[in-house]
Structure 1
Amino acid sequence: MQTAPQTTDELYEALRENDRRPYGRTRTVTAEELAETAELFGEPVPLIHALLELQEAYTYGSEPRKSPVVFARLLNLFDEQPGVFDDRLRHQLFWRFKWVANALRSLPEVPLGSLRQWQTEMRDRYEKAGLELQPYYGQAYQLAAHVGEDTALAYELWAGRTRSRLSDCEACETCERALYHLAAGDDERALRAWEPVLAGKESCQEEPARSVSYALLPLVRAGRTDEVRRLHLAGYRGCRRNPSMAGEIGRHLEFCALTGNEARGLELLAENRTLFDEVDSPLSLLDLLTGVEVLLARVEALGHGELPAAGFPGRSWTVASLRAEVRRRADDLAARFDARNGTTAHTDRRRTRLDRTPLLESLELTLRPRTLADVAPATAPAAPEPAEALPGSPAELIKRARELDEQGHPDAHACWARLRTLTTDPDYVHPDDPEAGPPARLRADLLEEEATLAERKDAHADAAALYEEAAGLYEDAELAGHAVIARASAVLAGAQAVPPRAEAEDAERAVPEGAGAEGADPQARTAAQVAVFTEAHAELVRLHEQAPGIAPYLQARLLRLRVSAHGLRLQASGDSEHVAPVLAEAELLFDFATRHGLTGQIAAARLLRATTHAMAGDLPTALADADGLVEVLRTDGPAWHLPRALSLRGKIQLGLGDAEAAYASLSEGVRLAAEWPAESVDTPTLHGELAQACMGLGRTDEALRHLTRSAELELRAGARFDAFCTYSNAAQLSLDLGRIDDCIALLDSLLLEPDVVDGELDDRLVAQLRLTRARALRTGDDLKAATAELVALAAESAGWDDDPGSHAMIAAETAILLGEAGEFTKAREVVDQALAAHARDPRYEQVSNALRELARLQAQQHGPEGLTDARAFLDDAGRVADAARTVDFKAHGRSLDTALAYEHGRINAYAGAYDEALAALDKALGLLGEPGEDPHLAAEWAECVRLAGVVEGVYLERTAPALARIEAAADRLTSLGHSEEAESLTGLAERLRDGE
């Protein structure tokens, strides 16, 4: 709280603002400050409101020791001045007797006699006030269940009574009834009782999240796995990081442990690590710790006790050490409750949970299924597994590696990896064998392999340096042919590593002064890239001409590098004049490889030729080439080229619109790729392309699986940026498909990754993930969380000086959410930021949409009193539309001018300015023109006519002209085949005739 309220009006506004905050320390501290301020006014009613807010903050902030103290002050005020408590305040006071009972029950230091004494106090107060006693009997039952007494009679005395105004909400009572049946071992009856809550028909602040946490295991036991998956995702989101729902989080952790989702359990534990320090309720903490222990015990039983785990602050924990600490603390808490209650109920319940065995070996919960191996600390990647066992002696291993490398066989990578390990051992002795050659040659071989792997990760500058170093060593070993290949490889890697900025500077200087840099810069860069690859090709030809006597397989590699240089030039330019040189070089490679029987290079030449035709847009020729290549590879090999050929064919088939054929090709490619080391096949790309084919066939669930599989493979390969981009696409797809819980769970998992938390991942990519999450939260009706996320994003993106357009878009979207929440002052501030950023990098449609929507919300929520502010938003939208018109901007939907005129009509109608509304709607109809055959335009036109008819016929009471307008429009729509739109108008006409 920056400034203490100076008046009671300011105090009430501060209380309302604090009520909008999430429960936690910020809200609690502010409530404490407001209560202190309220006392200074010397008026009982403001103080009562402040104390009620403070007790709520303590109750839902998991501080049960403080809640009864605040309530005692309220009760004293009521006893001293009952007249100042109106009906609402009196209802609040008697409702909170239950809060105090819950708080006292959760504190083992409060004697059992004091708990019973409080219940007696509650009963006496209710009877004196003439209130029904069902809430009292509810508390008596809950105390009996807590202590571990026979609950049958207490349950009947409560559940058999009619509900009253002070009874717990129906959702909470439903949960208590279900838990009674669950404790009796009757899963089926418990689930029947829970049905309305789990189906979303009954809810409150803590429901259905509380019920879901208890229902998870019974649902699994009942075999309702699809339902339990959905409820886990939604239910966990309802309690995550919430101190007052620590026990519910513990049960979600237990559920993960018992369904083969131990890795997700550790992830959720990390997300809620602050609860170890924040939860001040011993009963909630006991519930949480028991769930944590179930998870940790399961992880340790699976042999992962040394994994790091998120635990109590102040030190680092492993699974094993944290489990021991959790067990000690939880045992102590259970013993304290049992000592207070005079039973063994809490120890027994803890033992029952800890003794449970897994219910399922595996239950896929999220779009990102992970294992404990996936959450282990990063280690050096495992060496690829070869198809055949590796030779034992270094000499034989070197020989095998070079033979396989000459063939281009993928198993060469495993040999080189093994040799790298051997040679780094201090005791390694190079074999004295002529075939093994000198140590310098082996070092060169290993450097060349390292460079190849670097290239596959797009680390072209590193690769070029490694190739150059290898070339020098080959020369020292008097292997001229190998040196040429290494140097040629360095040339091509260097060309891909060169940033075109320097080469583009001269081209940019030729751009006329005042011309937009947006158009010149890409052209200059393209020209620079073309020049770099042209020069690289010339250098490759020179190197080839200077090495006439090298072995055929080395010459073929040189020819392949030449094709690649021209191919990269074509890829950079997209210019058709660069197609023929690529095909000519590919033909040289094909002819040479055919003469010398180099099957791997024959396949490579055909693959490059088909790829070139595809890049040139000649898809039928590309497909014919790919078909031929696949058939040759099936019969003659080499088999390791087949997944790549199938990938190319599938991509071409997608381009031709044949999703069924593409699906078949890509599915086979994925299956065959599993037979080869990951280094030889781009399996992530195969899965990504297969996802596209699935989307073309309407197999959306399968598409999501392939997208997430592609991303996880990219993560394992160390391509984290690409992986997060793919995951971002999967999240957006799940949002588009309406799978809101899946989308949010996936993004929550990604945003917990260490490089995201530590700020090491690209900030714009992280912002995109958060933006998608905010949109998913909004779609899922969690407006509060969505607004908080977007407000934070808007503040961060304000500093993106290099990308004001993105800030304009984010700020515009944020302003709409603030408007929906009724916070128009903040919405005005944020939309002004959007306008300022838009002036630097226009986002006409997004900014105009936001301004019009804010105008609508202002008029809708405030009526005539909001008309001035609403019109101010529309004035800004008008200026945006004027600017868009000057640059001939075309909106994706209706024009900005048409949308603006319609919105003028709508907000004037909301505000009761009906003549102005009708004039604006007539203008909108004029801008829309005739509906024609376009169904979207017809729908907009019909809606505009409908609203004009309502304004004219209902509010202005001009029935005859309104009927004429509506009936003519309906006839027009019917004649054009828009029967559904026409029906909406004829229905309105009938109501007008009937005088409704």
Structure 2
Amino acid sequence: MPTAPHPQSTDELYRALQENDRRPYGRTRTVTAEELVDAAEQFAEPVPLIHALLELQEAYTYGSEPRKSPVVFARLLTLFDEQPDVFDERLRHMLFWRFKWVANALRALPEIPLATLRQWLTEMRDRYEKAGLGLQPYYGQAYQLAAHVGEDTAPAYELWAARARTRLSDCEACETCERARYHLAAGDDERALRTWEPVLAGKESCQEEPARSVSHALLPLLRTGRADRARELHLAGHRICRRNPSMAGEVGRHLEFCALTGNEARGLELLAENRNLFDEVDSPLDLLDFLTGVEVLLQRVELLGHGGLPAAGPAGRTWTATGLRAEVRGRADDLAVRFDARNGTTAHTDRRRARLERAPLLDALELTLRTRSLDDVAPAAPAPAPTARTAAAVPESLPELVLRARALEEQGHPDARACWTRLRALVAARGYTHPDDPAVGPLVRLRADLLTDEANRAGEKDESADAAALHEEAAGLYDDAAEPGHAALARACALLAAAGAPARDADEAEARTAALTAAHASVVRLHEETPGLAPYQEARLLRLRATALGLRLQTSGSEEHVAPVLAEVDLLHAFATRHDLAGQVSGALLLRASTHALSGDLPAAVAELDALLDRLAAQGPAWHLPRTLGLRGRLRLGLRDARAAHADLTEALRLAADWPADTVDAARLHGDLAEACMHLGRPDEALRHLTRSAELDLRHGSRTDAFCTYDNAARLSLDLGRVEDCIALLDSLLAEPDVAAGELDDRLVAQLRLTRARALHEGDDLKAATAEFVALAAESADWDDDPGSHAMIAAETAVLLGESGEFGRAREAADRALAAHARAPRHEQLSNCLRELARLQAQQQGPDGLAGARAFLADAARVADEARAAAYEARGRSLDTALAYEHGRVNAYAGEYEDALTALEEALALLGEPGPEEDHAGEWAECVRLAGAVEGIYLERPAPALARLDAAVSRLTALGRTEETEPLTSLVARLRDGE
């Protein structure tokens, strides 16, 4: 494994140790630590070796390699015994602290005899006493050993818990966890949770906390009715410990939590995410805890009848839930027996049994925004949900089934689809014999019918080329079957499908407009030249003619294309009315309403739909109601009547449940409902509709639409402050097989990762957020067709690096952002980035950072000049005003107060005093406040500062902006007290 160059001096060694300390725990850090110990041994001084050994022991301890930690500590103890004077107070403290690490490591190894564990604790006590150290840490370890073995813990607990803490005691968070677990083992959930509260609330933390406490508190929270709190902690807690070998036991408890709350599908997802733990956990105790949690999950999956589902197990083979459970059970049973044999009790076997026998605590707890069942993750498509309306039974007799399918197809009835599905299966079966029945017709006719149904399905998925080819093939078969009317219909459908997908730019729009014009002319010829058309066939051709012109209007947006559509619609409506074709009458009225909507006359479109809904309620067909209500809901959104839109869309969804799932685009209805909810100020409800819309698209194969909608949901959840929900949702999406395999559009995946990185930042995980931004910035540098996005990502990356204090790397990222901005300007984003970098550097480094900060501001000034030259107007405050204000802040941070005041006065001049109609009062007040502070406090000129502040307070009071005056009056009081 490649590592850093071999240190040639102690200074280089210390720098390498510091660099390694910043790495995450794992093999890279551990191997580097091993190499640094080898390097330290070349120097004659013992202190560098001590530091290297301490780093190596830490790497082993938190890298889940307990067998190696005691060996390293033995070397440290020998060095201490031989040369105690080289251990300064800090090194001595670290040495005695790590007696506990060794005790923990030895407990985790069943091959270490119990007598050796007790002997080590005796050694610890003797060493502490000899060094004059308090024994509370020793008694803490004695209690933990008693709990591990399964002895009566009460005496050991009292000896530990009753003693005062010392400098070498475990941190408050860890001790809190041990006390809470003591009460938990005694069956007192409430007391355990009261004890845990400071840790669960984030008031106390350390390397392992609160992740460890969270994992143990999940089930007590459920048992005491705090399901929402358990959900919240599960989301945050699993993210902290996932994939971490030293927290494998915690991961196991999160899997168990999923299994006991009806979230088996999420459990399998998390198991796949933590698959590395099967091979990377070297601690037998942690592995036992992990495997037991895995078994609880897999046992539940089996009990629910899904033992054949794929499950992520040890690398090297493919596992089912049943097969993996057998493997896990064997390994965990063996570990439990080994610990019990070492300890002389049955404690570990008993605890395992108790976990495996625990009944689910909740039937269903919605853990994430993407709630899925085991049926949803099964390879086979999930069974359609039951509907309020019972579909007509599919006839058993083959002739009856064929005739029934064709009759329903003539009406456009949704139940036709089920008949075609059944027929497709029968015809494809080996030994199929076609009935010799004149009413059914030849096999070639039935094959054409099935191809038509397949083509229609492809068209619904926007697979235009496939749909066109299938319709053409069907037309040829209809010719063979002597069915000219059906052949004409199939060719007309092929013409429309061949006209292509919606246009993405002006050139495509022009080409598609021409193609639709030609398609319409060809359909008219087919209509005119095909003899013997039945009324329903002629009506369909008229409908296709109107549809072609409607699509042309939608593509071109040209007013001249409105009248031809309406003329065709009138022909269809008159014909369908004359022949009493209810479905086609409804279709004509729907096309007319859509045409009015496309032409911009939304009130007329709504009026048409009002009349159509009245007709549908009285005469049917009923299956047109959901689609018509959905369209009226969308139009009402356009008219800004969100309440009426919400009512229409809700009713459309309710009625859609009465019909087969592919009758109505329910995903679209949910998406429109989300928009209505946002207009009504109901974002949580909007979030539910967005996630439902996305999952429906996903199930129907529209994966790009689904991931786009899910990204919208993730961003909304972030706006709502639901950071962990956002991260969990995106983690789930990014773990999808086609995403992991690189089969999804790379820009869409990048957008998902970008949203996740922003969520990590919002959740104060600066390290993870920065790592993701740096990776995205590197990848987006190759987006030659989209330099603007790279500019935005590189700019955000620079800011995060600045927050981390890495201003050298931040400068590099900002330069890349500026280079991309030169190709695709992002004036406001770049200005915001550069000003924020300047503020961060001056704030963190003071006078030492002034030169770097001013360089960032100089770049921001050039961006502002470019924006002015391009007549660009910022959405917020002007770039010049913002720049002047930032000059003021930066100089104030660096102690250049005269320059700061000059810049702030320039910002105030650019802003101008707020008036009754102005909306910048808050910004102006803050600028006045900072100028007053610089002038009155740092420049020690209180009189002009007070005059400035008093005038501003009067101005704001006259405008009724009392909220903005509060910081100013507070500063005034401070300055007057100073006088």
1:646-705 superposed Cα distances (whole Å, 9 cap, x missing partner): 101111122222222111111111111111112211111111111122222222222211
Where does residue 835 of structure 2 map in the other structure? 852
Q: How far is the alpha carbon of 1:122 from its aligned partner?
A: 1.0
Equivalent position SS for 1:676: coil
Corresponding residue for residue 837 of structure 1: 820
Of 145, 152, 155, the residue aligned with 1:153 is 155
Match of 1:523 among 501, 506, 511: 506
Comparing 126-135 with 406-415, greater Cα deviation is found at 126-135
Once residues 446 and 714 of structure 1 are traced to their aligned partners in structure 2, the CA distance between those partners, rounded to angstroms, is 24
Q: Secondary structure at the match of 2:783?
A: coil
Choose from 38, 44, 47 the match for 2:40: 38
Q: Would the alpha carbon gap of residues 611 and 471 (structure 1) be closer, same or farther in structure 2, given more than 3 Å must change?
A: same
Counterparts of 2:189 and 2:58 in 1: how far apart (Å)? 34
Structure 1 residues 968-983: aligned runs within 5 Å: 968-983=951-966
> Distance in 1 between the 2:812 and 2:722 partners?
33
User: Is 1:933–1:976's contact at 8 Å kept on the other side of the alignment?
Assistant: yes
- One-letter code aligned to 1:814: T
Q: Secondary structure at the match of 2:978?
A: coil
In 1, the alpha carbon distance for the partners of 2:918 and 2:113 equals 72
Q: Please list every run of 5 or more consecutive structure 1 residues that lacks an aligned counterpart in the other structure.
A: 501-521
2:493 pairs with 1:489: yes
Give the corresponding residue for 1:646. 629
Residue of structure 2 in register with 1:510 after alignment: none
Give the 3-state SS of the residue equivalent to 2:42 in structure 1: helix
- Pair 219,934 (structure 1): closer, same or farther in 2 beyond 3 Å: farther
Aligned to 1:325: 327
Counterpart Cα distance in 2 of 1:918 and 1:710: 54
Q: What is the aligned partner in structure 1 of residue 574 from structure 2?
A: 591
Deviation (angstroms), 1:20: 2.1
Greater shift, 574-583 or 475-484, is seen at 574-583
**One-letter amino acid matched to 2:87:** F
Aligned-partner residue type, residue 152 of structure 2: D
SS at structure 2 position matched to 1:610:
helix
C-alpha separation in 1, matches of 2:87 and 2:600: 79
What is the alpha-carbon distance in structure 1 between the residues aligned to residue 226 and residue 382 of structure 2?
A: 40
- Larger mean CA deviation between 707-716 and 580-589 belongs to 580-589
User: Following superposition of structure 1 onto structure 2, how do residues 455-854 of structure 1 map, counting pairs within 5 Å?
Assistant: 455-497=459-501, 522-547=505-530, 549-854=532-837
How many residue pairs get aligned? The number is: 975
CA distance, structure 2, for counterparts of residue 528 and residue 663 of structure 1: 37
Matched position secondary structure for 1:496? coil
What CA distance in whole angstroms lies between the structure 2 residues aligned with 1:562 and 1:13? 76
Name the counterpart of 1:511.
none
Distance (whole Å) between structure 2 residues aligned to residue 3 and residue 833 of structure 1: 29
Contact preservation (8 Å) 2:485, 2:531? no
Alignment CA distance shift 1:324-1:922 (3 Å): same
Match of 1:426 in 2: 430
State the match for 1:402 in structure 2. 406
1:20-39 correspondence to structure 2 within 5 Å:
20-39=22-41
Q: 1:114 aligns with which of 101, 113, 116?
A: 116
> Which amino acid in 2 is paired with 1:470?
A
Q: 1:577 Cα deviation (Å)?
A: 2.7
Aligned CA distance change for structure 1 residues 5 and 107 (closer, same or farther; 3 Å)? same
For residues 932 and 557 of structure 2, the distance between their equivalents in structure 1, rounded to whole angstroms, comes to 54
Is the partner of 2:697 in helix, strand or coil? helix
Mean CA deviation greater in 193-202 or 389-398: 193-202
For residue 506 of structure 1, what is the aligned residue in structure 2?
A: none
Per-residue deviation, residues 691-724 of structure 1 (Å, max 9, x unmatched)? 1222222222222111111111111111111111
| 1:420-446 deviation line (CA, Å, top 9, x unaligned) | 111111211111111111111111111
- Secondary structure in structure 2 of the residue aligned to 1:23: coil
Question: For 1:888-931, what per-residue CA distance to the aligned partner results, in whole angstroms no more than 9, with x for missing partners?
Answer: 11111111221111111111111111111111112212222232
What is the TM-score of this pair, normalised by structure 2?
0.97
Q: Which moved more, 1:863-872 or 1:572-581?
A: 572-581
CA–CA distance in structure 2, aligned partners of residues 972 and 525 of structure 1: 57
Which whole-Å deviations, capped at 9, do the CAs of 1:507-527 have from their partners, x for residues lacking one? xxxxxxxxxxxxxxx433332
For residues 189-211 of structure 1, the C-alpha deviation after alignment (integer angstroms, 9 at most, x for no partner) is: 21221122222222222111111
Following the alignment from structure 1 to structure 2, what is the Cα–Cα distance between the partners of residues 948 and 921? Answer: 6
Deviations 1:859-892 (A, max 9, x none): 1111111111111111111222211221111111
- Runs of 4+ aligned residues of structure 1 deviating over 4 Å after TM superposition are 378-386, 497-500
| Deviation at residue 280 of structure 1 after TM alignment | 0.3
Quote the residue 2:299 is aligned against. 297
Deviation at 1:351, TM superposition (A): 1.0
State which of 861, 875, 880 in structure 2 corresponds to 1:897: 880
Cα deviation for residue 46 of structure 1 reads 2.6
Alignment root-mean-square deviation, CA: 1.7
Per-residue CA deviation, residues 120-169 of structure 1 (Å, 9 max, x unaligned), is 11111111221111111000000000011111100000011111111111
Task: Quote the residue 1:354 is aligned against.
Answer: 356
Match of 1:314 in 2: 316
2:431 and 2:16 map into 1 onto residues whose CA distance is 74
The match for 2:270 among 268, 271, 274 is 268
1:50 to 47, 52, 57: 52
Q: Deviation per CA, 1:260-279: give whole Å up to 9, x if none.
A: 11111111110000001110
Between the aligned partners of 2:565 and 2:34, the Cα distance in structure 1 is 75
Partner residue in 2 for 1:515: none
Q: What is the percentage of aligned positions where both structures have the same residue?
A: 75
Q: Spell out, residue by residue over 1:4-63, the C-alpha distance to the aligned partner (whole angstroms, 9 max, x if none).
A: 333333333332222222211122122222222233333233322222222111111111
How far the C-alpha of 1:810 sits from its partner, in A, is 0.8
2-structure distance, mates of 1:499, 1:671:
33
The answer to whether the 8 Å contact 1:935/1:978 transfers is no
In the aligned structure 2, how far is the partner of 1:98 from the partner of 1:194? Answer: 22
Q: What is the CA deviation profile of residues 417-475 of structure 1, one whole-angstrom value per residue up to 9, with x for unaligned ones?
A: 11111111121111111111111111111111111100000001111111111111111
Q: Is the 8 A contact 2:929 2:949 kept in 1?
A: yes
Q: Distance in 1 between matches of 2:285 and 2:463?
A: 54
CA drift of 1:499 comes to 7.5
| Structure 2 residue runs without a partner (length 5+) | none
Of 194-203 and 131-140, deviating more is 194-203
Counterpart of 1:869 in structure 2 is: 852
Give the conservation status (yes or no) of the 8 Å contact 1:384–1:678: no
SS in 1 for 2:241: coil
Change (3 A) 1:86 1:575: farther
In 2, Cα distance between the equivalents of 1:494 and 1:979? Answer: 65
Decide whether the 8 Å contact of 2:384 with 2:661 is kept in 1.
no
Map of 1:512 onto structure 2? none
Preserved CA contact (<8 Å) 2:503 2:555: no
2:209 corresponds to: 207
Code of the aligned partner of 1:420: R
Deviations 1:162-196, CA, capped at 9 Å, x for gaps: 11111111111111111111111122221221122
TM-score by length of 1: 0.96
For residue 678 of structure 1, give the secondary structure of its aligned residue in structure 2.
Answer: coil
> What is the distance in 2 between the residues matched to 1:874 and 1:65?
54
Contact 1:559 1:588 in 2 (8 A): yes
3-state SS of the aligned residue for 2:701? coil
Greater CA drift, 20-29 or 343-352: 20-29
Contact 2:64 2:281 (C-alpha < 8 Å) held by counterparts:
yes
Preserved CA contact (<8 Å) 1:384 1:413: no
1:446 paired residue number: 450
1:774/1:789 contact within 8 Å kept: yes
Which letter does structure 2 place at the counterpart of 1:452?
N
Q: Does 1:192 align with 2:212?
A: no
Deviates more, 1:839-848 or 1:927-936: 927-936
Whether the 8 Å CA contact 2:503–2:509 is kept in 1: the answer is no
1-structure distance, mates of 2:371, 2:57: 41
Q: Which residue of 1 aligns with 2:946?
A: 963
Asked if the contact 1:666–1:689 (Cα under 8 Å) also holds between the matched residues in 2, the reply is: yes
SS of alignment partner, residue 679 of structure 1: coil
